[in-house]
Structure 1
Amino acid sequence: MRMTSLKMKKILDERLDHENYHRSYNRDQDTYRVEWKETHKGMSIKLPSVIAKYNERGEMAIDELVEHVTEALRIMNEEHELTGMEKHIFPVIRATSFPTETKSGAKLVTTEHTAETRIFYALDLGKSYRLIDKEMLVKEDWTQEHIEQIAKFNARSLDTSYRTDTVADNEFHFVAHQDGYDATRILNESFLEEMLANAQGELAVAVPHQDVLIFADIRNKAGYDILAQMTMKFFAEGRIPITSLPFIYENKTLEPVFILAKNRRTED
């Protein structure tokens, strides 16, 4: 049976039936919205995307969507305090194009990182997290420097184990713990220095999406092309893409590089 938007709407109406939810369907935009009746805070879902995932994965796709929506709405309806939750505050890496304000207009706490990336701060809530906004800092009487220090300390506590593949005599190391903070580990300076000390060639680092950090020990010209193809593939497939440009790490700085054809690179 062919799945249509109206059929999907009916399924979601049944699965998201809650006395405090208001559900609506926008036929023109083909979106389904779920929000709290009292606050009108909620989220809109693009039905064609849901149908595509349903056609590919069946009921599991709907199960995951309902879990995600329910968790997101729960977080929206809760007041979150930072004091006492210090161990659960982490930095997260996002593209510079990532919005610095919430849809309700709250300004998120950010720190500049590179030309391609920006640091945001997350309160880990177990199954999900909430990005920290400036209103939360004011409420807690916290400074930006305070949250940066806490988050940086917690980032250093993350497991830095990795797996290694060798391709055309170049070594590629993959940090992929699937904990939501794989890209965050690029902020662990001692980890970067350790990888640099152990590299035989030039050390490149990549964060194509949130759930992977790649180190490349580039030992010959072929290594640049392999890294370029690898980062582009990961970037295209990532749930939260960051940047397809890798960085060269030297002198404790990350410089974005464009890797061109014929194995040559130019710095951004």
Structure 2
Amino acid sequence: MTSLKMKKLLQESLDHPNWIFTYEREKDSVRVEDKNSSKGITISLSGLIAKYEQNGQKAVEEYVYYVQETLTSMRKQITLNGQERHIFPVIRSTSFPIVNSDDVSLVYDDHTAETRVYYAIDLGSTYRLIDERMAAKEDLTNETIREMAMFNVRSLSTEMKEDRVAGNSYYFLNTKDGYDASRILNESFLQHMKQSVKGTMTISVPHQDVLIIGDIENKTGYDILAQMTMGFFVNGKVPITALSFLYEEGKLEPIFILGNIKVEKDTEENE
């Protein structure tokens, strides 16, 4: 499957009189915009092709649904007041824009050297990132939005599935509710996991729909973790970071994993 063939397949599946497709060859991506609002979404073709090779047409259908829901939600009038229980934090990479398509600043906080926390209003099948204009319109401060979101993320399920490989345990949280990676902000959950691990605890958020906690008991465990996170990172609709984090004393420290050698990244945690 080539990028041009995938572009054609997407365009046929997303045929709509109000949607405009733009192929960005250098970025190997397709931009889909609503011509009435100029708001849209960019799709990485290489990432979609990788998923297509694994899951076939189902991968395309997932992206089509994602784009349809996102573009439809962008046209809705959103209110925050009275929706306190539907405000959640979402994790993104530090390369993610800090302004929206209208050049309005999004509400966000620094998290680590690799990640940033944004805030969203849940709309059921999708969500909308909250910007400062939206917050000001309803007289909500960033601190208030942050408190609501952090309270709500603690109410989400933290049930995990365990996979034991080469003497190491890996725990996966993959509910696909859009906030799997956001559980990295649930401090009580992380502390609970920390108490149960036997070796070194790692946390990975390769894309928004998965969180991986590693209980690493030998050097091979780091190699497996690196391969695992890279696989998820490449195949995710919303990639975050292929790096994992050490979790020590309530802090996250990004690490590089090279071969059989674990090399800690020389960086300070942003709080």
The TM-score, its normalising length taken from structure 1, stands at 0.83
**1:106 is matched with which residue: 79, 90, 104?**
104
Matching residue's letter, 2:233: F
Residue 61 of structure 1 deviates from its aligned partner by: 6.7
**1:86 is matched with which residue: 84, 87, 90?**
84
> Conserved in 2, the CA contact under 8 Å of 1:16 and 1:66?
no
**What pairs with 1:41-56 in structure 2 (closer than 5 Å)?**
41-42=39-40
> Conserved in 1, the CA contact under 8 Å of 2:92 and 2:116?
yes
Whole-angstrom CA distance in 2 between matches of 1:157 and 1:11: 40
> Conserved in 1, the CA contact under 8 Å of 2:108 and 2:117?
yes
**1:198 is matched with which residue: 191, 196, 199?**
196
Whole-angstrom CA distance in 2 between matches of 1:53 and 1:233: 10
Whole-angstrom CA distance in 2 between matches of 1:49 and 1:232: 12
Task: Tell me whether 1:35 sits opposite 2:62 in the alignment.
Answer: no
The structure, 1 or 2, with the larger RCO (C-alpha pairs under 8 Å, 6+ apart) is 2
Q: Secondary structure at the match of 2:195?
A: helix
**What pairs with 1:1-268 in structure 2 (closer than 5 Å)?**
11=12, 15-17=15-17, 21=18, 23-24=19-20, 34-37=33-36, 39-42=37-40, 57=56, 67-268=65-266
Summarize the Cα distance change of 1:201–1:111 in structure 2 as closer, same or farther, 3 Å threshold.
Answer: same
Q: Which structure 2 residue ranges, 5 or more long, are not aligned? A: 267-271
Residue 111 of structure 1 deviates from its aligned partner by: 0.6
Whole-angstrom CA distance in 1 between matches of 2:112 and 2:24: 40
> Conserved in 2, the CA contact under 8 Å of 1:208 and 1:243?
yes
Residue 177 of structure 1 deviates from its aligned partner by: 0.7
Whole-angstrom CA distance in 2 between matches of 1:247 and 1:6: 35
Q: Secondary structure at the match of 1:264?
A: strand
Whole-angstrom CA distance in 2 between matches of 1:243 and 1:48: 16
Whole-angstrom CA distance in 1 between matches of 2:262 and 2:48: 41
Residue 49 of structure 1 deviates from its aligned partner by: 9.2
> Conserved in 2, the CA contact under 8 Å of 1:206 and 1:247?
yes
Summarize the Cα distance change of 1:89–1:263 in structure 2 as closer, same or farther, 3 Å threshold.
Answer: same
Whole-angstrom CA distance in 2 between matches of 1:233 and 1:48: 13
Residue 88 of structure 1 deviates from its aligned partner by: 0.7
Deviations 1:47-102 (A, max 9, x none): 999999999845x6776565444433322222201001111110000000111111
> Conserved in 2, the CA contact under 8 Å of 1:107 and 1:133?
yes
> Conserved in 2, the CA contact under 8 Å of 1:205 and 1:246?
yes
Whole-angstrom CA distance in 1 between matches of 2:89 and 2:169: 27
Residue 105 of structure 1 deviates from its aligned partner by: 0.6
> % of aligned pairs identical?
47
Whole-angstrom CA distance in 1 between matches of 2:23 and 2:257: 44
Q: Which structure 1 residue ranges, 5 or more long, are not aligned? A: none
Matching residue's letter, 1:35: D
Larger Rg: 1
Matching residue's letter, 2:119: Y
- The match for 2:269 is none
> Conserved in 1, the CA contact under 8 Å of 2:170 and 2:215?
yes
Summarize the Cα distance change of 1:168–1:135 in structure 2 as closer, same or farther, 3 Å threshold.
Answer: same
Deviations 1:105-155 (A, max 9, x none): 111000111111000011110111100001011101111110000000000
The TM-score, its normalising length taken from structure 2, stands at 0.82
Deviations 1:184-220 (A, max 9, x none): 0000000100111011111111111111111111111
Matching residue's letter, 2:34: E
Whole-angstrom CA distance in 2 between matches of 1:198 and 1:73: 42
Whole-angstrom CA distance in 1 between matches of 2:72 and 2:106: 20
Aligned length: 259
Whole-angstrom CA distance in 2 between matches of 1:188 and 1:62: 32
